[in-house]
Amino acid sequence: MRKVFVTGIGTDVGKTVVSAILTESWQADYWKPIQSGELGKSDTERVRRLISNTKTVFHPEAYRLTEPKSPHTSAELDGVKIRTSKLLKLPETENTLLIEGAGGLMVPYNFRGDTIIDIAVKMEAEIVLVVKHYLGSINHTLLSIEYLKSIGANILGIIFNGEPDSASEKVIINQSKVNVIGRVGHEYEFTRELIKEYSLDFVFV
């Protein structure tokens, strides 16, 4: 089973849209291990609404936390203990499994300092890092990549999301030496049709 873990340089950088595009492109199964807040409009439901293929299976979250906060805080407020063993119990499938992380790669899920990216590495998943340009994003991106390399993560590549910034991208590409596997533009609204259109760019990744 191929496992691809989508994470980001921070929160609100477009992980869910990228996850929808990759899920549609590969007709992969989708799994969000931790949903923190917005249970009525979860990322799983958003991806479900955005894809067109009928092969994808949506696996239930391991943890559904009520507060829109970092998982370690939300779990404490809910009186829940997030167990590493439960996060590593992958859904049973013979399909490619697209796994969407919560927040950025260094977000903790407990007070021992275990992070989202720790789980991805233990899963032996390929890592897709979503990058969105803003003041400070070069620093956040290069630090994220250096950390991923330092822990031996299998980096599939980065996806730029949102308004392009050629100057920032040139620095990131030249200094990181990480493969750019695609770009997603700034769109007024992402629809099924638009996700399908973008998905054609990722078929052979």
Non-local CB neighbours of 8 within 8 Å, separated by 6+ positions:
14, 15, 101, 103, 104, 105, 129, 130, 131, 132
Task: Answer yes or no: 32 catalytic.
Answer: yes
Handedness of CA 95, 154, 195, 14 (dihedral sign): positive
Amino acid at 170: K
User: Can you read off the two tokens belonging to residue 25?
Assistant: 């492109």
Of 32, 69, 122, 132, the active-site residue reads 32
State both tokens at 79.
């009186």
Catalytic residue ranges? 32
